[in-house]
Structure 1
Amino acid sequence: MEAVTTAQPLAVDQIHTNAILLESGPVTIRYLSDTEEDREFAAKVTIEAFERKVVHATSRGSIPDIQVYYANSLRGRQPTFYERHFIAEYDGQKAGSCVIRYHGDRELFPLRDEDMPPVGCTDMCGLFCMGLAANFEIYIAGKCCVDHIGVNSEFRGKGIGKVLLDMAEIDAKRKGCKAIYLYVATTNRAQHLYERQGYIIKERRTICCCGYWCMTGEREFARMEKILEGDKENC
């Protein structure tokens, strides 16, 4: 078992994006910073994690444009935004990312039209459909949502996903959340990781006969949840 070290919560004016929040062996976790390098990495690893859905909604040739869109969406945000985004490093190399959300964050961090690079009508329609699917994933009051998590293909199998999930739980507990949850396609092997972390399936969702398939290329999603014991802020 690797030793795990966590930092004490920082006041907003003390937060430094390069400060280590969690350390487990060669894996360290910090906040995302508003730098081109961090934005491009987070976009790359996120689109890589959702490549199948992105290609289904748009096309493989559109992936570079979608990465630009995601990177742009991380630029020039308020400090709280970056506290919801974690970057994992393995022996000092960026290896993964995780994004968490709380109730009210959809309004706090709205989508911005100016972030979207010029794309064709077909791709725009596909992204709109993906957005509709995402809107079915509500942020429940009193709970933390793992919005998405991804590990660079070069670093998979090294426990990075587990440490990112540990960090999400630490943040949720600090805010007094009673549970943490996520949505995952029922065909996704990552379910096994979530089960090992203590998540259990609370519900399965489909839309009509092929609604999710049309939007994302997946037919069914599961909401998995883990009970926490928070004792600080109100989540």
Structure 2
Amino acid sequence: MLYSEDEKEKIIKQFLPKIKHHALRYHNIVHSVIELEDLISAGIKGLLEALNKYNPSLNVPLASFIEYRIRGAIIDEIRSLDVFSKEYRKKVEDLKKAWKTLKESGKEPTDEELATSLNITPTELQEIYQSITASDVIDLDNPVITHQGDKLNLSEVISDGKDIFEDISFRELKERLTAAIESLSEIEKIVISLYYYEELNMKEIANILGVSLSRVSQIHGKSLLKLKNFLENSLIEK
């Protein structure tokens, strides 16, 4: 379907609050490496691409398709920066491996056990948790391929909204992940709920909980580590 310039401008104005909403949520995580205006511009670009690619025969509401493309364009803009060094990536991978190894003992590893296993200080461990928030929030929107070839997005599984690509495999995984979220600590569940269900940004969550922004990032990062580990194990079992 072709849109005139006036129609495009009208649609941009209509969705601009939603674009700013998604841009701000991600900007609170990666504010040190990219400007908010750049993310908003990426969101507008995603909207225009959605208008060009939308196919009514898919039986997907235009608004849902547009929002999906807006968020995807913002994520692509951040991902293109590749701001995470090899040293940083190694630290995160080492933490994930240590988590899995210690978890095999049958209980959730403590921060003290993880720090000892990695031969780092508790402060350094918290810094890695905080960094995971920056990388894995973006990674959450990467599709995970199951053995059946299904594409699943963890952020869509966590959120309460209806995924436009929802299928039986998706619903099964959502049930498993819901159980995983229930296994989180109370503070972790609150942060996950406020960020993914209520769609608050990190600064708003920090104000609600009465803690620092860095503390929210740490809690969020640790929660993602647990959930991603659960997701990987679920896909292996399928």
What TM-score, normalized to structure 2? 0.33
Q: Which of these two proteins has the greater Rg computed from alpha carbons?
A: 2
Structure in which a larger fraction of residues adopt strand: 1
What TM-score, normalized to structure 1? 0.34
Structure in which a larger fraction of residues adopt helix: 2
